[in-house]
């Protein structure tokens, strides 16, 4: 077959046809995968909430979006066991750090899970394991609110050579607690806040 | 036999990473561990096989002057499709590589093969070329990832070979990627000469 000539007409028609065909393929795949993607995200969130609240079945009673002192919006999921707070801090070493923090209604940390990280692999990316129970920088069971790394006078061991990541992470935990426990908003019923 | 020759050409003689030095951005960016390098290589291979095939099919109806935009539309759509599929069916891969998948679009290996091979050969040969180059790329990325992971953390594919404290963190970071890649290229070239 001879190659088509590069006339204006040919070029316009061919490019349009290719774009339409690829667009149709994209639309089709999007339609097929969208429900699965949403399911996966929902499932990831649910297992995350379960995990940070110490495992077992957890039913979310109420869900609320709040704004913390830095103007970052955070999601709070109230359950019978405690609350799971999805909070973030824009000043990690590599960019935004997002974590899910499990707290009981007194503000004690039950667990946490790093959801999104752009921290350095091998350094700041260790945050997922570093602060867990039994690890060096264990924060589980501690009271959130004014946690700080030892360099700043606190009692949490920072990740070796990753003080900036550690600070950002602790800011997330502190802000999560402060905001979720803090002054009940007049506009919301805040049912979860007064449960024990 | 021709198919085999095309395939091996991509893996060895024109290995995209060690010989052509194409696609350096994902090569350096994603190889902090062996598994990351391998996933990136495989994802690139899938896109490459399909883009080579489709471009080879449409090469005769695409006027010469608009071939690059036409190829880019095809490649970008394939990458977006792959991204949606990974998000839906392999969320774990999406978590570690999500950031890099869209960058496959601008990987010059893919446009390079479209232009240098698929636009001049039949669809079947183009598939083999995609497979060869893709596997060559995957092998190179896996090897580089494994070397960096081993020297940096003492692990390969998350299996500990020596304690992490002996690892030189440098190799996990960006400068280590350049150093490790430089030595690997030197070694591969030396081996090829013998």
Q: How far apart are CA A106 and CA A181, in angstroms?
A: 8
Q: How far apart are CA B167 and CA B117, in angstroms?
A: 42
Alpha carbon of residue B104 to chain centroid: 9
Q: How far apart are CA A70 and CA A168, in angstroms?
A: 12
* Residues B61, A14: C-beta atoms closer than 8 Å: yes
Contacts of B166 (CB under 8 A, 6+ apart): B154
What secondary structure letter does DSSP report for A4? P
Residue B57 belongs to a domain: yes
* Residues A26, B80: C-beta atoms closer than 8 Å: yes
Rounded alpha-carbon distances, angstroms, from residue A104 to A65, A76, B125: 18, 12, 62
| CB-based contact A62:A191 (threshold 8 Å) | yes
What six digits make up the tokens of A165? Answer: 């990541």
When pLDDT is averaged across residues A170-194 and rounded to a whole number, the result is 65
On whether any CB of chain B is under 8 Å from the CB of A61, the answer is no
On whether any CB of chain B is under 8 Å from the CB of A13, the answer is no
On whether any CB of chain A is under 8 Å from the CB of B74, the answer is yes
Residue B130 belongs to a domain: yes
Taking CB atoms and an 8 Å cutoff, what residues of chain A touch B70?
Answer: 14-15, 18
Q: How far apart are CA B114 and CA B108, in angstroms?
A: 10
A127: left (phi over 0), alpha (psi -120 to 50) or beta: alpha
pLDDT for the residue numbered B104: 87
On whether any CB of chain A is under 8 Å from the CB of B91, the answer is yes
Nearest partner of A170 among A181, A180, A156, judged by Cα: A156
Beta strand pairing call for A73-79 and A60-67: antiparallel
| CB-based contact A112:A99 (threshold 8 Å) | yes
Beta strand pairing call for A83-89 and A73-79: antiparallel
pLDDT for the residue numbered A2: 65
Burial of A194 (0-12, 13-18, 19+ CB in 10 A): exposed
Q: How far apart are CA A40 and CA B44, in angstroms?
A: 24
A101-113, pLDDT tens digit by residue?
999 888 899 989 8
Kindly list the strands in the beta sheet with A60-67, ordered across the sheet, starting from the edge strand earlier in the chain.
A60-67, A73-79, A83-89, A97-103, A109-116
In the A/B pair of chains, how many CB contacts fall below 8 A?
78
On whether any CB of chain B is under 8 Å from the CB of A29, the answer is yes
Taking CB atoms and an 8 Å cutoff, what residues of chain A touch B85?
Answer: 29, 33
Rounded alpha-carbon distances, angstroms, from residue A132 to A51, A139, A180: 12, 7, 21
* Residues B87, A40: C-beta atoms closer than 8 Å: yes
Is the per-residue pLDDT at A189 higher than 70?
no
Beta strand pairing call for A83-89 and A97-103: antiparallel
* Residues A33, B69: C-beta atoms closer than 8 Å: no
pLDDT for the residue numbered B137: 93
When pLDDT is averaged across residues A31-58 and rounded to a whole number, the result is 85
Domain ranges of chain A: 6-196
Beta-sheet strands, E only, within A29-159? 60-67, 73-79, 83-89, 97-103, 109-116
On whether any CB of chain B is under 8 Å from the CB of A8, the answer is no
B16-67, pLDDT tens digit by residue?
888 888 888 888 888 888 888 898 899 999 999 999 999 999 988 888 888 8
Gyration radius (Cα) of chain B, Å: 17
> Which of A2, A18, A121 lies closest to B73 in CB terms?
A18
* Residues B32, A121: C-beta atoms closer than 8 Å: yes
> Which of A5, A26, A161 lies closest to B77 in CB terms?
A26
**SS3 category, A97:** strand
Residue B16 belongs to a domain: no
B123-141, pLDDT tens digit by residue?
999 999 999 999 999 999 9
Task: Provide the domain limits for residue B97.
Answer: 22-193
What six digits make up the tokens of A28? Answer: 């089709």
When pLDDT is averaged across residues A128-146 and rounded to a whole number, the result is 86
* Residues B66, A11: C-beta atoms closer than 8 Å: yes
Alpha carbon of residue A184 to chain centroid: 23
* Residues B63, A26: C-beta atoms closer than 8 Å: no
Is the per-residue pLDDT at A122 higher than 60?
yes
pLDDT for the residue numbered A45: 83
> Which of B59, B81, B89 lies closest to A26 in CB terms?
B81
Count of structural domains, chain B: 1
Nearest partner of A32 among B75, B89, B79, B78, judged by Cα: B89
When pLDDT is averaged across residues B153-168 and rounded to a whole number, the result is 80
Q: Does the model's pTM come out above 0.90?
A: no
């Amino acid at each position: 077959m001879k190659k088509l000539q590069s006339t204006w007409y040919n070029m316009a028609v061919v490019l349009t046809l290719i774009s339409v065909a690829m667009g149709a393929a994209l639309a089709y795949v999007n339609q097929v995968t969208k429900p699965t993607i949403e399911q996966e995200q929902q499932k990831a969130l649910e297992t995350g909430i379960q995990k940070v609240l110490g495992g077992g079945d957890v039913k979310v009673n109420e869900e609320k979006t709040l704004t913390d002192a830095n103007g970052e919006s955070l999601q709070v999921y109230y359950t019978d066991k405690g609350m799971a707070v999805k909070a973030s801090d824009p000043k990690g070493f590599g960019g935004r750090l997002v974590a899910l923090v499990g707290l009981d209604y007194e503000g004690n940390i039950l667990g946490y899970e790093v959801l999104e990280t752009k921290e350095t692999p091998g350094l700041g990316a260790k945050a997922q394991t570093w602060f867990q129970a039994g690890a060096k920088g264990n924060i589980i069971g501690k009271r959130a609110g004014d946690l700080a790394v030892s360099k700043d006078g606190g009692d949490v061991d920072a990740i070796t050579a990753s003080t900036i990541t550690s600070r950002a992470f602790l800011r997330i935990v502190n802000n999560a607690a402060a905001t979720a426990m803090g002054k009940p908003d007049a506009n919301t019923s805040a049912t979860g806040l007064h449960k024990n | 036999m021709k198919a085999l020759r095309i395939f091996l050409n991509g893996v060895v003689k024109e290995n995209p990473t060690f010989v052509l030095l194409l696609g350096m951005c994902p090569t350096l960016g994603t190889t902090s561990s062996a598994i990351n390098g391998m996933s990136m290589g495989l994802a690139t291979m899938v896109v490459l096989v399909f883009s080579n095939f489709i471009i080879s099919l449409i090469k005769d109806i695409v006027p010469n002057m608009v071939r690059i935009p036409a190829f880019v539309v095809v490649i970008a759509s394939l990458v977006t499709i792959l991204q949606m599929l990974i998000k839906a069916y392999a969320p774990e891969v999406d978590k570690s590589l999500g950031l890099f998948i869209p960058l496959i679009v601008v990987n010059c290996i893919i446009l390079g093969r479209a232009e240098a091979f698929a636009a001049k050969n039949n669809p079947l040969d183009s598939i083999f070329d995609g497979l060869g180059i893709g596997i060559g790329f995957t092998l190179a990325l896996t090897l580089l990832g494994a070397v960096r992971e081993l020297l940096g953390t003492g692990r390969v594919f998350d299996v500990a070979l020596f304690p992490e404290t002996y690892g030189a963190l440098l190799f996990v970071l960006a400068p280590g990627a350049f150093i490790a890649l430089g030595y690997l290229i030197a070694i591969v070239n030396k081996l090829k000469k013998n």
